[in-house]
A = this chain, B = another copy of it.
């Protein structure tokens, strides 16, 4: 297990600060202070503030798109695919809850990578929607506009980063199962 480089450390600490106040409100001097060095010293390890944001967001977005692609191409049932998607979100969000905050809230501050990010996101959402449509066609899931269903499920999953760190005692598989139940079967007792 290679230990973290100084660059990776900066990116990790930056993500923590970005989670609290957002990309724009965090200054390079804030970041430097959190690292225990002066702002100028950061530039021995990174090229720009913008590059830090790229590093945080793009790797995460790719992880989601790749994971979704695998799920989509598998031949599981629609419901099982949804459960896999929930697990994917729980897994990534628990590994990197700080980065998830930037992915959710600061993607619009990307510059050169903004178009690429948007493509990754729309690929992800298209796969998601296709899975839902297939489920409606096969009668596995209820016939409500797939847009609304996806929106509802996805916003819950996208917000996991807020919630997971507060529940460290929590078993992740258990959380995944609870969410599956709530999101798929609802909360009403038949």
Contacts and interface: CB of A to CB of B under 8 A. Distances in A.
A187 B187 contact: no
Number of identical monomers bound together in the oligomeric complex: 2
B178 A183 contact: no
Given A22-B22, A144-B182, 15 more contacts: A20-B108, A24-B24, A141-B187, A142-B188, A147-B167, A148-B179, A151-B163, A152-B156, A152-B182, A152-B183, A155-B155, A155-B156, A155-B158, A156-B156, A159-B159
Contact of A183 (B79, B139, B186): B186
A175 interface: yes
B178 A105 contact: no
B149 A182 contact: yes
B109 A181 contact: no
A178 B79 contact: no
A12 to B, nearest CB: 20
A145 interface: yes
